[in-house]
Amino acid sequence: MTVWCELIQTSFFSEYAMEGVNHEDANEILLELQLEQLVNVLKTCLKGCQSVKLKLTNAHGPCMTVISRNSLSAEVCSENHVPITVIPRKDWKYFQEPSSPDIDASIYLPKMTIFKNVVDRMHSLHDKIGIHLQILSANHNGELEVCVDADLVTVKTHFKNLEHPRWSGDSQESQTRNTQQNREFHSVTVDSNKLLLFLLSEQLSPDKIACS
């Protein structure tokens, strides 16, 4: 599993100043650190203080210096150093945003609480009919189907009016697809146990989840 997260600067920092390798094609710095250490430091800094400042320093080696202040008195509450590794530019290619995969269909899932409930109820049905597989089908017309298909019974839940992610090259492909192609479903068969385990373990609470 690869997790790629982009944080918008203005959403987290009231002040932001950074100079990368150069301003033309490499105005960035790549750092590697232990997240657990940073989290522990932030938990300590936020106790009784109103603001936190992050600085790249060199205290017996590269560090992320975390300075917490009382905003009323500007008094420094604490100063902690988290060891980091500066990634050399020759290795930047290994830390690029993952490219979009080749996909037949891609759709945003419904509200996660509803989707989890549907998958969970179908999973309960699996125990009775002895089949632990679910079929997920989607098209380019905003439709998603979750289906259990057995000899004795077929149960299907249909979602409509869902949105689609915008991947690179989508605009050109969407122009060449006709109405019939947009309504054509693309399906995958998944193990219901693994699908439910994934849904129950999701902790990030994102606004949207794309299923391709």
More confident residue, 169 or 154: 154
Write out the two tokens for 194. 């693994």
Alpha carbon separation from 77 to 33, 45, 83, 103 (Å, rounded): 23, 7, 20, 51
Q: Which residue would you say has higher pLDDT here, 183 or 74?
A: 183
Name the average pLDDT for the chain: 83
> How many whole angstroms separate alpha carbon 208 and alpha carbon 133?
25
Q: Which domains does the chain have, with CATH numbers?
A: 22-94 (no CATH), 107-165+182-211 (3.10.150.10)
Neighbours of 103 (CB within 10 A): 13
Q: What percent of the chain has a predicted confidence (pLDDT) above 70?
A: 88
DSSP state of 7: -
Q: Which helix (H) or strand (E) holds 117?
A: helix 112-129
pTM for the model: 0.58
What's 140's DSSP letter?
T
Q: Are 170 and 87 in contact (CB under 8 A)?
A: no
Q: Which strands make up the sheet holding 51-58, listed edge to edge?
A: 31-33, 75-86, 62-70, 51-58
Taking the C-alpha atoms of residue 75 and residue 197, their distance in angstroms, rounded to an integer, is 47
- CA 195-198-202 angle, to 5 degrees, is 145
pLDDT in the model for residue 1: 61
- Which residue matches tokens 């999973």? 123
- What is the tens place of the pLDDT at every residue in 89-120? 999 888 887 776 677 888 999 998 899 999 88
